[in-house]
Every structure is written in structure tokens, then in C-alpha cells.
Amino acid sequence: MSTDETTRRAWAYLSRVVEPPHTGLRDFVETEGPEAAAAAIRARRLPAPYDALLGPTQARAEIDTAAQDLETAARLGVRLVTPEDEEWPGWQLWSLRAADTVERGGPPLALWVRGPGNLADAATAGIGVIGARNSTSYGEYVTGQLVGGLVEGGWTVVSGGAFGIDGTAHRACLGSGGTTIAVMACGIDVDYPSAHSALFAAIARDGLIVSEYPPGTTAARHRFLTRNRLVAALSTAVVVVEAGRRSGAANTAAWARKLGRPLGAVPGPVTSAMSVGCNRMIADEQAALITGAAALISLAAPDGEGGPNRGPVRTTDALAGDRQLVYEAIPARGAITADEIAVNAGVGVTAVMAALAMLEVDGFVAAVGDGWAIVRD
Amino acid sequence: MSTDETTRRAWAYLSRVVEPPHTGLRDFVETEGPEAAAAAIRARRLPAPYDALLGPTQARAEIDTAAQDLETAARLGVRLVTPEDEEWPGWQLWSLRAADTVERGGPPLALWVRGPGNLADAATAGIGVIGARNSTSYGEYVTGQLVGGLVEGGWTVVSGGAFGIDGTAHRACLGSGGTTIAVMACGIDVDYPSAHSALFAAIARDGLIVSEYPPGTTAARHRFLTRNRLVAALSTAVVVVEAGRRSGAANTAAWARKLGRPLGAVPGPVTSAMSVGCNRMIADEQAALITGAAALISLAAPDGEGGPNRGPVRTTDALAGDRQLVYEAIPARGAITADEIAVNAGVGVTAVMAALAMLEVDGFVAAVGDGWAIVRD
């Protein structure tokens, strides 16, 4: 077995050993690397503070279906994308680090991905188009109009693959020749809802299907809520086309706001139950009123920055702790050594090195000669 | 002829001698009183700076149909309401003083009124419900719902008597047993649009019809714009139910904003041409999103203040010039003489007396013994 294959098996094992996402596991993997982390969990030898993982991993530690999962995946044309891969959407997922405090709110450990595109590239131009399952003809018509405009502008449509607005958005995108990303609340090999199996097959052919759950995972209520954070994270902006008084779309909208993604909503008749949620988000100034694709695009890229073919709008706002101190200690121009950074930042050299490694993975900094420099777009 | 009748004839003469409203004429009448002002205009003897009125009054100075106008009015059950009358809506019209700089933007000189109610009382609880002439069934349905809720809360519905949303609002109000005020862009004896003559008769029976134009004045484009400011001024808040891309309702909405009246708009389908104006006002944060009567009422009376049976929310924000200086020179408690005010305000005693007279007319201050005190609600 090649090193690469061993590593991939470790990731696959880790993706199933606890219900994802799990902050403690992710921290452990970031510190120890996937193979050592997987081995330690299997051997039940976890150093403090990672011994907290003993409980959560107990039930599944010895169930190793990694080889089988990767085989199933390969058969379906599914790949396991990890932070070590080029198409890992590090920028998009970065904002989730600040949500680590929310249960199952942090970044995913890894993502199972199906479809021809490069996930990071597609997500760079992603706009979330979401809404009620029991949509009306009004909502479906507006979704089609919006998506048509987004595709024309080169944007990717991100949604949740559900009935109603989600499905309409994916279909309209494929129909317009655009790229769409469906983020699943179940294993990537599970068609949920099953009535959308043809749609999922079409997305797998021309777009991308993404799940943080290992193959075979069934859809469950808590997984929809967990999935919603990824729809928001993989989007530059999110629009809610229709939403009832209590709608799952409101949860995705809340994630968009928490992650600093501009949120829009399409207004609708005050007589329509399916526009109550949208009208309320607008009235409460939680969402901008969106009347068409142009308004949505300028919400996503107010200065014409970011979006298709322009690279992501990189933000360092989400940097926290040592990473923030270290990042800010590096001059805007030129390189600086880790020792100098330690002095500037008032952070120990070991911590500086750890922070630099993370910052490098996420593309904020790059090693230049013996030192480190800010990465410029 | 009694003094009262002489005065009334002077007001009637002045109401026709120039196209109302006219700031110069109003200032002259406020300074000289209606009889002296009318006599001076008739005699073409106008002291500076009022000689500026010579031009505008030239054409009509010698056409005195005052007696005839008052006769016509009496026959139709119309009365001429002036700032000297108890039902003069002084508070509501006060805000227009700040708009004197806008052509035909200042307060009216006098108002021709028809109907059983007391105009000042009715306007205290007034909410403007306006919108497109070519309304849709959606807009008409929502108007009915809104107005029903307003009437239940004891509010008066103010509108412009036009086709579409205006007419629907008046009708819904009468149908719910409420009080409605129609502000006309023509003489009060002219039914414009003529298809609304039955509606106007019903309003005259149970509500109030108001016009600043003397009897017989025909509707004209500039009079609609001029009328719109009165719809806004006589309303505590204004809601636009439907408005196209270019709508007269946008002009009334602009007046509401200029006069500091909270403005609301009902969202509608982004696919409806008649909701384009409303959605845009909401998107541009010019209007609050209104989904029903409760939202509209809390827009009009955010702290439960003002509105029906609670008296108007008096505002001194619109006070300007000497009036503001004089008002602010009076202590919050206790009385103070005009001489003391002059010293405090740094304004000459004559100007102080003039300002006090105006402030008293509008109910901001009251004479107490030898001095003046702030009027408290």
C-alpha cells in the first residue's frame, strides 16, 4: 500500500470514527497528522487533552470500513477530499473555525466529493440559492430567473438538493449549462430524497455533490442542520427565495449571517405563507431585498471583487488567537523569520511555527527563503 | 355683514387670489391678518417685502367671487377652515413650514372641508394608505386587510380619492365603519375622477373631503403633486400598498419622508410591475416592510404614543428660525416674560412677540399671567 493510500485510508477511517464534524478530532488530526491520529484512536492511546476523544470514538474505533468506503467511493466516482488536497475549499471553510464553539459548527474534517469540477474553484464562485421544500410556482419561477442570471455571470449555484427551491435551483442551473454544488445531509451514495436520484445523477455528471458523511450514512434531522452550515460556507452570498414561518432555510440563513456571508431574500406577497419567512428577514433587516440576479450578484460582489474568475475575496477577519497575532506580525511587504515573528507577536516560537503551518495550509502566508511572507492575491 | 362673515369672505378671497399654496401670501396674512391682507391686495398697496405679491395676485386681484364661493360651499355643506378655526390641523400642517422652500410645498392658507367630522381630530389619528391607480387584485386585497385593521384600532384612513389603491382604501374604511379623509387635487365641488362621485358622496356623508383649492378648480397635474404633500402631512404614517416603477405614490412617499412621517411599503411579487416601486423603497431602506395592520400601527405609534384618542405626538423638531430660538429660551417649568425671552434667545422683543403668537396658535406655548410657558401634553 502506497503512503498516499495509507494516508487516504486514515482520513476515511477518521471521517467515520465519530459523527462529523468533531472539533476535538479535527484538532487532534491537525496536530498529529491523519495517520498518527487514526493509529492512536485505534490503539486507544490518546494523550491529554485528546483523551477527551476516547468516549466519542469508543463505539466506532474498531470498526474500520475505510478500505471498503474508499472502494464504494471509487466505484461511484467519488473522491475523498481532505485539507491536504489542492481542491480543498480552505478559504470558504475558514470562517467555520470561528463557529467551533457551536456544536457541530466547525469545519469538516474531510469531504466526500462526486463530480467533474474542482471543488475549491467552484465554491469560489458559489452563491447559495435556497428555500422552502413546499415552494409555490412564484418561488420556482423566481428561482429560475435568478439562477439563469447567475449562470450567465459565471457563478456556481450552491444548494441542499431538497425538494422545492433547492431542487429547482439545481435543475435551473444544469439547464442553463452552469455548475451547481449539492451539499448532502447523508452519505454521498444515498439519494435523499430518493425522488431526486435522477437529479443527483445529473449533478454528479455536470456539477458537484458534496458530503462530510461517510458512504451509507442515512439522512437525519440533525444532519440537515449540520449540512446547512456547509451550504452557507461554500457560498459567497446566500439568497432565500421562499421560506415559511418555520423553514429549514431560516437555519441556513442564520449560518450565512454567522459566517459573514451577505444574505438576501426575495420578497413575496404578504398573503403567501411561503413568503412569510423572506418578508420577515427583510423587515428585520437580516436580509437584503433581492429582486433579481443583478441585485444578488452585487450583494455577493459589491465592488465587483470576488466571484467568477476573480479569485476569492480573502478575509483575515476570521483569524483568531495565535494565528491572528502571527499573521499581523508579518510585514505587508518582504519576508521575516519565525524568530522575528515570535518577538513581534509576543508568541512562543513553537506556537508561531504551528500557526504558520496552519496559515500556510489556508494560503494566508508562504515560506520565502528562510522566512515567511504574506500571500498576495 | 358680521365681523365673522367679513373675515370669512377675506379668507375665501385670499384662497383664490393666487394658485395655492403661496408662501408670500401666507406670510402676509399671518402678519397683517386676513382682512387687511385682502384689502391691501385689492387696493394694490403692498408694502415691501410683500410687494412681491403684486405680480402673482395681479390677474385675480379684482375677481372677487368670495361671496359666491361661500354660497356654493354652504349649499354643498362645505365649510372653509382656517388657522383661526378650532378644527384647523395645526400640528399636522406644522411640518410643512420647513418645506416652504419647495415650490408650493408650504402649509395651505386655508382648507375647504366637507363632512361631519372635526378635521384636526380626524387627522390626529390619520394614516395614509396610498398606491397605484392601476392596482392589482393583490394590492386591493391587502388594502382591505390593512384598512380593516386600522379601523379596528380607531385610526383614520387618509388618501387621495384616486382610482386603484386610494379608492379601495376609502371604500374599505367606510365599509368597516371607519373615518376616512380624501384630499382632493381639485375644487371640493368637483368630482375627480367623476366615476368616484358616489364614493365622494359617501365620504362627505361619513368622513371628510378636504381641498385647498377654491370651488370649481379643475384637477391638473401640478395639483396632484401639491395635494400629495397634504396627504402626507395629515397622516401620522404613510403606507404604499402598490406602486409601479413610476408612480404618483412615490411622490407622496417622498413627502412623507421629507415631513418626517414614518413610511411603510407592502412587499409584493418581484414579478409584479405594480410592486416594483414598493420593493424598491424597501430595498433602498426608504420604507419599512409592512405585512399587515399591526406592523403599520406600530410604525405610526412605535411606543404606543399618538394615534386614536391619545392626542398627537407633538414635535418641536420642525421649529425653525426665531420660533425655535424663542421656544428654546422658555424654561421647561414655570413662566417667563417676553423681555426675559428676548434676552435669553438673543432675539428682539418685537420678533419674540411675533414668534410667541405663532407658537401659541400652534399650541406650543401659552400665556400665563404676564409671561409665557411651555404647553405640556
Residue B129's DSSP bridge partners are B239
Distance from CA of A142 to the nearest CA of B (A): 8
CA atoms within 13 A on the CB side of A338: 18
* pLDDT tens string A274-310: 999 999 999 999 999 999 999 999 999 987 766 775 5
Nearest to B32 by CA among B354, B376, B369: B354
Structure-block grid coordinates of residue A327: 499573521
Distances in Å between the Cα of B105 and the Cα atoms of A262, B12, B258, B362 are 40, 20, 10, 19
Cβ A161 vs Cβ A184: under 8 Å: yes
Q: Report the sign of the C-alpha dihedral through residues A252, A257, A259, A261, in that order.
A: positive
Contact B142 A270 (CB under 8 A): yes
Structure-block grid coordinates of residue A166: 433547492
Contact B267 A271 (CB under 8 A): no
Structure-block grid coordinates of residue A139: 418561488
Cβ-Cβ contacts under 8 Å between A and B: the total is: 59
Residues of A within 8 A of B268 (CB-CB) are 267-270
Pairing mode, if any, of strands A156-159 and A126-130?
parallel
Residue/partner pairs of B295-301 with CB below 8 Å, 24 or more apart:
B295/A283, B295/B264, B296/B127, B296/B146, B296/B149, B296/B150, B296/B237, B296/B239, B296/B264, B297/B127, B297/B149, B297/B150, B297/B153, B297/B155, B299/B237, B299/B239, B299/B262, B299/B264, B300/B127, B300/B155, B300/B236, B300/B237, B300/B262, B301/B236
Residues of B within 8 A of A271 (CB-CB) are 138, 141-142
* pLDDT tens string B285-339: 999 999 999 999 999 998 776 677 554 445 666 677 788 888 888 888 888 888 8
**Pick from B270, B276, B291: which is nearest to A266 by CB?**
B270
Closest chain B residue to the Cα of A282, Cα to Cα: B289
Whether pLDDT at B163 is above 90: yes
pLDDT at A224: 95
Q: Which residues contact A79 (CB under 8 A, 6 or more apart)?
A: A73, A112, A113, A114
Domain boundaries, chain A: 1-64, 112-300, 321-374
Contact B289 A266 (CB under 8 A): no
* pLDDT tens string B12-34: 999 999 999 999 999 999 999 99
CA–CA dist B216, B249 (Å, integer): 25
Q: What is the dihedral of CA A298, A304, A305, A310, to 10 degrees?
A: 110
CA–CA dist B52, B28 (Å, integer): 11
Match domain B112-300 to its CATH number in 3.40.605.10, 3.30.420.40, 3.40.50.450, 2.60.110.10: 3.40.50.450
Residues of B within 8 A of A292 (CB-CB) are 270
Q: Which residues contact A136 (CB under 8 A, 6 or more apart)?
A: A242, A272, A274
pLDDT at B308: 77
CA B320 vs. chain centroid, Å, equals 19
pLDDT grade, residue B230 (50/70/90)? very high
Which spans in B319-376 are helix H?
321-329, 338-345, 349-361
Q: In the β-sheet with B156-159, what is the strand arrangement from edge to edge?
A: B78-81, B111-114, B208-211, B180-183, B156-159, B126-130, B237-240, B263-265, B288-289
* pLDDT tens string A178-212: 999 999 999 999 999 999 999 999 999 999 999 99
Cβ A213 vs Cβ A113: under 8 Å: no
**Pick from A280, A283, A295: which is nearest to B288 by CB?**
A283
Q: Which residues contact B336 (CB under 8 A, 6 or more apart)?
A: B329, B330, B344, B371, B372, B373
Higher pLDDT, A53 or A359: A53
**Pick from A141, A270, A291: which is nearest to B279 by CB?**
A291
Q: Which residues of B145-168 are buried (b: 16+ CB within 10 A; e: fewer)?
A: bbbbbbbebebbbbbbbbebbbbb
Distances in Å between the Cα of A239 and the Cα atoms of A61, A232, A265, B192 are 40, 10, 5, 45
pLDDT at B28: 96
- Over residues A264-282, the mean pLDDT reads 97
Q: Which helix (H) or strand (E) holds A297?
A: helix A293-300
Whether pLDDT at A344 is above 70: yes
pLDDT grade, residue A315 (50/70/90)? low
Tell me the ipTM for this assembly: 0.75
CA–CA dist A151, A156 (Å, integer): 7
Q: Which residues of B8-45 are buried (b: 16+ CB within 10 A; e: fewer)?
A: bbbbbbbbbbbbbbbbbbbbbbbebebbebbebbeeee
Collect all residues from A whose CB is shorter than 8 A from any CB in B: 138, 141-142, 266-271, 275-276, 279-280, 282-283, 288-292, 295
Q: Residue B101 phi/psi, 5° resolution? A: -70, -25
Cβ A30 vs Cβ A95: under 8 Å: no
Collect all residues from B whose CB is shorter than 8 A from any CB in A: 138, 141-142, 266-271, 275-276, 279-280, 282-283, 288-292, 295
Pairing mode, if any, of strands A288-289 and A263-265?
parallel
pLDDT grade, residue A318 (50/70/90)? low
**3-state SS class at B27:** helix
Q: Which residues contact B58 (CB under 8 A, 6 or more apart)?
A: none
Distance from CA of A156 to the nearest CA of B (A): 23
Q: Residue B132 phi/psi, 5° resolution? A: -65, 145
Distance from CA of B180 to the nearest CA of A (A): 24
Q: Report the sign of the C-alpha dihedral through residues A336, A342, A343, A346, in that order.
A: positive
Domain B321-374 -> CATH class = mainly alpha
- Over residues B139-149, the mean pLDDT reads 97
* pLDDT tens string B240-270: 999 999 888 999 999 999 999 999 999 999 9
Please give the full DSSP string across A22-48, using - where no structure is assigned: -HHHHHHHHHH-HHHHHHHHHHT---T
What Rg value do the Cα atoms of chain B yield, rounded? 21
**3-state SS class at B243:** coil
Least confident of A132-141, A319-328, B175-184: A319-328
Least confident of A205-209, B62-66, B278-282: B62-66
Cβ B147 vs Cβ B176: under 8 Å: yes
Whether pLDDT at A312 is above 60: no
Closest chain B residue to the Cα of A292, Cα to Cα: B270
Whether pLDDT at A317 is above 90: no
Distances in Å between the Cα of B12 and the Cα atoms of A93, A151, A224, B76, B356 are 74, 66, 72, 16, 27
CA–CA dist B111, B90 (Å, integer): 12
